[in-house]
């Protein structure tokens, strides 16, 4: 059955697995997540649970979010992040229930979604690893794009041409990451490998889609 949590990326470290091998892991504080609402196939056309993570001051959220949290008894402690987790079938959970890291187990595979680090406006050498021009005498250009189009036919820049622009700050999904260790007491997940986003960034942990 599909399952998921909202969490916060803590950072990277190393742990030993049961075979004594040193494994690089990303530590994620996943949950506790409160169930704010339930979507059913009969009423909404699909099955999902709406989760809330963290806390925010009431004055900093809209009345719509406060109304959503009222069903779960959290109108005085609204979450800082709300997201839905799609399910295969209607859930038997109750509104107001809390989900913790113990819904996942070691040696399980998950997909993790995050927002990559923003790098600002960058040129093609940094953004796309272009070689640039010659550095010796007579080059005339070093870190520029080079030719970007034609003269008369078709007379315009082709869509999708790799050019300078905003780098990073995009939604990315890393699939099939192995859960090395679960610490329910501290609400921590130790996931093998790197996870998109900066330390402290919000991530979504879901059951592996293609495993």
For the segment 125-134, the average pLDDT, to the nearest whole number, is 91
pLDDT score for 175: 94
For the segment 109-127, the average pLDDT, to the nearest whole number, is 94
Instruction: Choose one of 99, 118, 153: the last residue of a domain.
Output: 99
pLDDT score for 17: 83
pLDDT score for 4: 87
pLDDT score for 8: 93
**DSSP secondary structure letter of residue 158:** P
Distance CA 172, CA 37 (A): 26
Asked, for residue 153, whether it belongs to a domain, the answer is: no
Asked, for residue 43, whether it belongs to a domain, the answer is: yes
Distance CA 123, CA 119 (A): 11
| Burial class of 114 by CB neighbour count within 10 A (0 to 12, 13 to 18, 19+) | buried
Q: Is the pLDDT of residue 211 over 80?
A: no
Q: Is the pLDDT of residue 114 over 70?
A: yes
Q: Are residues 70 and 166 in the same domain?
A: no
Asked, for residue 74, whether it belongs to a domain, the answer is: yes
pLDDT digits (tens, 9 = 90+) for 164-195: 999 999 999 999 999 998 988 889 999 999 99
Q: Are residues 126 and 42 in the same domain?
A: no
pLDDT digits (tens, 9 = 90+) for 63-103: 888 888 888 887 788 888 888 888 888 777 888 888 888 88
Q: Are residues 95 and 44 in the same domain?
A: yes
pLDDT digits (tens, 9 = 90+) for 1-50: 688 899 999 999 999 888 888 999 999 998 788 888 888 888 888 888 88
- Beta carbons within 8 Å of 159's beta carbon, 6+ residues apart: none
Pick from 112, 117, 118, 78: nearest CA to 7: 112
- Residue listed under structure tokens 């070093």: 142
Q: Are residues 79 and 109 in the same domain?
A: no
pLDDT digits (tens, 9 = 90+) for 40-62: 888 888 888 888 888 888 888 88
CATH code of 129's domain: 2.40.30.10
Q: Are residues 16 and 107 in the same domain?
A: yes
pLDDT score for 1: 63
- Beta carbons within 8 Å of 175's beta carbon, 6+ residues apart: 111, 208, 209, 210, 211
Q: Are residues 117 and 208 in the same domain?
A: yes
CA angle 73, 78, 81 (to 5 degrees): 125
Q: Structural domain tally of the chain?
A: 2
List the alpha helices (DSSP H) in 129-202.
none
**DSSP secondary structure letter of residue 121:** E
- Contact between 38 and 91 (Cβ < 8 Å): yes
Asked, for residue 128, whether it belongs to a domain, the answer is: yes
The residue segments making up the domain with residue 66 are 32-99
Give pTM, 2 decimals: 0.81
Q: Are residues 51 and 83 in the same domain?
A: yes
Asked, for residue 149, whether it belongs to a domain, the answer is: no
Residue 209, Cβ neighbours under 10 Å: how many? 12
């Amino acid at each position: 059955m599909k399952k998921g949590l909202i969490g916060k990326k803590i950072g990277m470290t190393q742990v030993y697995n049961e075979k004594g091998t040193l494994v690089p892991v990303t530590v994620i504080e996943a949950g506790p997540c409160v169930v704010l609402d339930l979507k059913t196939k009969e009423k909404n056309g699909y099955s999902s649970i709406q989760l809330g993570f963290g806390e925010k001051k009431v004055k900093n959220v809209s009345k719509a979010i406060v109304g959503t949290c009222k069903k779960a008894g959290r109108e005085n402690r609204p979450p800082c992040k709300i997201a839905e987790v799609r399910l295969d079938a209607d859930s038997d959970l109750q509104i107001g229930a809390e989900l913790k890291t113990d819904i996942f187990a070691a040696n399980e595979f998950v997909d993790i979604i995050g927002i990559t680090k923003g790098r600002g406006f960058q040129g093609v050498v940094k953004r796309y690893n272009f070689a640039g021009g010659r550095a010796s005498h007579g080059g005339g250009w070093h870190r520029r794009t080079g030719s970007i189009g034609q003269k008369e036919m078709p007379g315009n820049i082709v869509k999708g041409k790799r050019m300078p622009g905003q780098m990073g700050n995009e939604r990315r999904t890393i699939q099939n990451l192995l859960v090395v260790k679960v610490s329910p007491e501290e609400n921590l997940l130790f996931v093998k490998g790197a996870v998109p986003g900066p330390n402290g960034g919000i991530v979504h942990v879901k059951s592996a889609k293609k495993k």
